[in-house]
Structure 1
């Protein structure tokens, strides 16, 4: 099954993304901050990551840099979701495959996920 990691300290947003992606047939795993996200990444081996920017312990930019510094998931697409820091993500196209501003349109997010990794199998 195609797995997606959602990293967001706002549980409501993580749940909304999770339910919508699960309805499309993806398996979703969640983490509440970047450090926990790295642990889940090692354990679950997702095909794509959706991360928030502003989180405790490790923000989305630090998380994306840590992911890309690892040899195995260097090609892992990362989508950034941000309420205030979307411009930072847009200035780092080498780190983020897409950037969505909060509030986001879930239909657009799902379309981008399918574009990046294909439909769920």
Structure 2
């Protein structure tokens, strides 16, 4: 199965995603902000990232820019999450594979993970 990184400062969201993805057999790593997220990426390159848009220390757009600027990480698909409308988020962030509006349904998470991991060549 895949390694999934969840970067979100809302403990409840991170805990829910961790439980759902772990139950599906994925290895899950979490971080509370973009700076911690980049450290987790460097330690163990994830196959997929769920990234919150608004966080302290380093927000989602800044982490996306850092990931996109590094050839070693620019190919990792990122699900950018926010309660704000997608058009508003798109004004400040680019480089994500999919936008997921909060609150979301668990079925959406399952569908996104299946689609994004299936699209990647050489998946397990």
Q: Is the 8 A contact 1:90 1:99 kept in 2?
A: no
Question: Aligned equivalents of 2:39 and 2:85: distance in 1?
Answer: 24
Question: Aligned equivalents of 1:70 and 1:55: distance in 2?
Answer: 21
Q: How far 1:93 sits from its partner (Å)?
A: 8.3
RMSD: 1.9
Report the TM-score when normalising by structure 1.
0.90
Q: Give the gaps of 5 or more residues in structure 2.
A: none
Question: Aligned equivalents of 2:58 and 2:93: distance in 1?
Answer: 19
More helix by share: 1
Q: Give the gaps of 5 or more residues in structure 1.
A: none
After TM superposition, the structure 1 = structure 2 runs for residues 28-107 of structure 1, keeping only pairs within 5 Å, are 28-84=28-84, 86-90=86-90, 95-107=95-107
List per-residue Cα deviations over 1:42-72 (Å, max 9, x = no partner): 0011001000011001111111111111120
Aligned residue pairs: how many? 120
* Residues 57 and 92 of structure 1, relative CA distance in 2, 3 Å threshold: closer
Question: Aligned equivalents of 1:105 and 1:45: distance in 2?
Answer: 27
2:56 maps to 1:21: no
Report the TM-score when normalising by structure 2.
0.88
* Residues 72 and 90 of structure 1, relative CA distance in 2, 3 Å threshold: same
Question: Aligned equivalents of 2:86 and 2:14: distance in 1?
Answer: 18
